Amino acid sequence: MRNLVKFAVAYAKAGFAVLPMVGKQPLMKFADRPPLTVEQIEQFWLTHPYAQIALRTTNFFVVDIDEHPDGADGFKTFREFDHPEWFRNTLSQTTAGGGRQLFYLKRDDAAIQQNIGWRPGIDIKAHVNNYVVVAPSERDGHQYKWENNNPIVTASPELVASINQRPDYKPSSLSIDYDGKTATAELFETISKGLGDTGGRNNALASFSGGLLIRGVDPESVLDLARIANARTPDQLSEKELIRTVESMVRKEIRRREAQS
């Protein structure tokens, strides 16, 4: 594995917010903090010479295409999309996991929402505290690779509007009146529906995280699932607040297990 500091510096000089990574995990706290300077990047890589590179989705967003374990084929969805003209020639890369990511600049005249599950097998990563690992980073022996040298183009208004649109219907085949709903079912529904209204988001996140941890879900997966639920919450928690709440519940679960041992 090679030292990527020159690439990290080049990204920073091009105006991107660089984030050092190991695998898919950041090596530092970054939520709601200013981007690293060139000097900070050079200093960090001196002590972490094999850190990989992610870019925070502050001024751009990514259309993330993949084949999901649940059978959703993002590549098929993309090929059959009704409006191929929305996907103009822009910078794109293949990921270490075999996916594909298209990069678009955010518009000044329209905010864009993160949308996990925008289409089957296609996610939109756009939150200011989210990030994407980029070439030439490696993971599990596989490399991220740029597909072209195209500049990142600004997303069309139509694409942004489609991403921001949320379905307002409920298939009748799923309208089932359950006599008793299990706590596990409620956890799954939180992933789908989000954390609720502004006043109860933190409590909902704490309950959600604690429910997963007590069922044996590992903390890293709990954090990933919490991000998905937060992305589907109209007024999202900041990444800093989300991480702080999840970490608090992890510590609480550790104390609970120690007391039982």
Q: Tens of pLDDT along 60-117?
A: 999 999 997 767 899 999 999 999 999 989 999 999 999 999 999 999 998 898 898 8
Is residue 135 over pLDDT 50? yes
| Polymer length in residues for the chain | 261
pTM (whole model) above 0.85: no
Q: Please, what are the domains in the chain?
A: 1-56 (3.30.720), 61-127+147-166 (no CATH), 174-260 (no CATH)
Q: What is the mean pLDDT of residues 186-208?
A: 85
Read off the DSSP letter of residue 50: T
Is residue 172 over pLDDT 90? no
Place of tokens 């990142």: 152
Name the least confident of 139-143, 162-166, 222-226, 242-246: 162-166
Is residue 173 over pLDDT 60? no
pLDDT of residue 198: 64
pLDDT of residue 180: 66
Secondary structure class of 129 (helix, strand, coil):
coil
Secondary structure class of 26 (helix, strand, coil):
strand
Q: Where are the beta strands (DSSP E) in the chain?
A: 18-22, 25-26, 52-56, 60-65, 92-94, 100-105, 115-119, 122-125, 131-133, 138-139, 142-143, 145-146, 153-154
Task: Determine the Cα–Cα distance for residues 71 and 92; give it in Å rounded to an integer.
Answer: 24
Task: Determine the Cα–Cα distance for residues 247 and 261; give it in Å rounded to an integer.
Answer: 21
